[in-house]
Amino acid sequence: MELYLKVRVACDGGMSQREAARHFGISRDTVRKMMAYSVPPGYRRQAPVRRPKLDAFIPIIDQWLDADRAVSRKQRHTAKRVFDRLRDEHGFTGGYTIIKDYMRDRARRGQEMFVPLAHPAGHAQADFGEAMVVIGGVEQKAHFFVLDLPHSDACYVRAYPAAVAEAWVDGHIHAFAFFGAVPQSIVYDNDRCLVAKILPDGTRKRAALFSGFLSHYLIRDRYGSPGKGNDKGSVEGLVGYARRNFMVPIPRFASWDAFNLWLEEQCRKRQGERLRGESETIGERLLRDLAAMRPLPASPFEACDQASGRVSSQALVRYRTNDYSVPVAFGHQDVWIRGYVEAVVIGCGGEIIARHPRSYAREEVVFDPLHYLPLIEQKINALDQAAPLQGWELPEAFTTLRRLMEVRMGKQGRRAYVQVLRLMESFDLADLHAAVKQALHLGAISFDAVKHLVLCRAERRPSRLDLDIYPYLPRATVEKTSAKAYMRLLDREEEPA
């Protein structure tokens, strides 16, 4: 600009353009342009770009690229593939660069445009994201639920082992409890956990659990276009924000509950931030959101999948490809199943007969050893090979008790040991362990003794097997007989009468 100014001042002062070009060392065309424009106009193309070697082939390229829209992204034409086909099939003699430039310009012209959206208070968007975490020392993939209030940018994040329908509903329930209110409407994508089918007229057939959830909270559900995320861009951006800020570095927690408590705290801290372009903090704008939202119902929705099944001959019930054990007394009976995020509950009639931690693996068998002890007591030869007992970690005192019982009573000792294990059907392992250790100390190696001791412990009364609590009883001292005493008896028998 300094040179521009000097040239224009000199020419305005009477210097000719020829003299100015010679004085400043620039061409006369440049001087002419400087005098024509008060500021540099920049480069201006006067005519469209001419590509004599490519222009004749542009209809062919456009045809190929238009056809690519109907195939997978991984099998579409690249600039290199277009160049090879034009050269081999159509005798193209130009270079690779002009093809690459044309395809880049064509892609830029075809990019979609979006309308800026305004978000009234009281409405929400929901989605799931993925990130790696370490829970209980095991690295695994976490599926985290995000509920976003676009008006205030307040959010709630909760992590799960899998993004199943129960996790979707459970995430909403915890989010509503976190905010203390229910949004008027929520925008979703077309996840199969929520939408069972999209009908030809565009309406959605909702999944049964999700439909019941909407009915309970009276929420109006809205959906984005299939395959696009711009309809709920606010929560899409928040999923990335949560991954970058809450899960870098990789979170390490002892349990899912501990991780989720930490995530809730991060969501509360974020409410004190003021985002770019806003004069209020997230928490201040959240007050308007909460004022426009609905109050919580009297009781929360039960986030569980309901199914039915039949107990197999091995006392197993199948749910979502996995088998869960029930007491053998319910063999071959019809049962109902409730699948929660963290547990699988099985019942028969009005009675709950089994409760297991939920497995998200496939074709896994989840045993409760106590379910099989009555059958093992009858079929005692299966004790060492029973699959439900494999890997059952019991205190060392139980192993000692079994060994002593088998030494003293043989096969009946094994059955008595199983009877001792069955006491866990009524008593805690800690109480039974204490009773077993006390029985070993007293030398009372029997099922009746262990049962008596654990009952006394549960009822908080003294044991009748312990003579220390009866000081008024006389003590009997039994000494060990030595071999010399027997030898003296033999000597007396040999003396003459």
Superfamily name with CATH number, domain 123-292:
Ribonuclease H-like superfamily/Ribonuclease H (3.30.420.10)
**Domain extents in the chain:** 2-36, 55-109, 123-292, 305-366, 375-469
What residue type is assigned to position 187 of the chain?
V
pLDDT (0 to 100) of residue 496: 58
In three-state secondary structure terms, 493 is: helix
Interatomic CA distance for residues 153 and 289, integer angstroms: 10
Task: Report the run of H or E that residue 407 belongs to, with start and end.
Answer: helix 396-409
How many angstroms separate the Cα of 146 from the Cα of each of 91, 215, 231, 243, 340?
55, 21, 16, 11, 19
Cβ within 8 Å of residue 82, ≥6 positions away: 61, 64, 99, 103
DSSP label at 286? Answer: H
Sequence length of the chain is: 497
CA distance 63 to 14: 60
Note whether 344 and 360 are within 8 A (CB). no
Task: Supply the pTM of this predicted model.
Answer: 0.75
Residues 6+ apart with CB under 8 A from 254: 135, 136
Q: Hey, CA dihedral for 61, 67, 73, 74, is it positive or negative?
A: negative
Provide the angle, in degrees to the nearest 10, between the axes of the packed helices 28-36 and 2-12.
90
Residue 120: partners with Cβ closer than 8 Å, 6 or more residues away: 151, 292
**CB–CB of 324/294 below 8 Å?**
no
143: closest CA among 237, 234, 247, 214? 247
Whole-number pLDDT of residue 494: 59
d(CA 348, CA 330): 8
Please state, in angstroms and rounded to a whole number, the distance separating the CA atoms of residues 394 and 265. Answer: 38
- Torsion, CA 412, CA 414, CA 417, CA 419, rounded to 10: -60
Nearest to 255 by CA among 160, 145, 355: 160
β-sheet bridge partners, residue 324:
317, 366
- Are 95 and 79 in contact, with CB atoms under 8 Å apart? no
User: CA quadruple 178, 179, 185, 188: dihedral positive or negative?
Assistant: negative
Residue 427 tokens, joined: 């008593």
Is the separation of the CB atoms in 377 and 419 below 8 Å? yes
Cis check: omega of the bond before 496, within 30 degrees of 0: no
Q: What is the pLDDT along the chain (497 residues), one digit of tens a residue?
A: 788 888 888 988 889 989 999 999 999 988 898 888 888 877 777 777 778 889 899 999 999 999 999 898 889 999 999 999 999 999 999 999 999 999 999 998 888 777 777 789 999 999 999 999 999 999 999 999 999 999 999 999 999 999 999 999 999 999 999 999 999 999 998 889 998 888 888 788 999 999 999 999 999 999 887 666 566 778 999 999 999 999 999 999 999 999 999 999 999 999 999 988 888 999 999 999 999 999 999 999 999 999 999 999 999 999 999 999 999 999 999 999 999 999 999 999 999 999 999 999 999 999 999 999 999 999 999 999 999 999 999 999 999 999 999 998 888 999 999 999 999 999 999 999 999 999 998 888 899 999 999 999 888 888 777 656 555 555 666 677 777 777 776 766 555 55
Rounded to whole angstroms, the Cα distance separating 129 from 243 reads 8
Whose structure tokens read 């974020």?
270
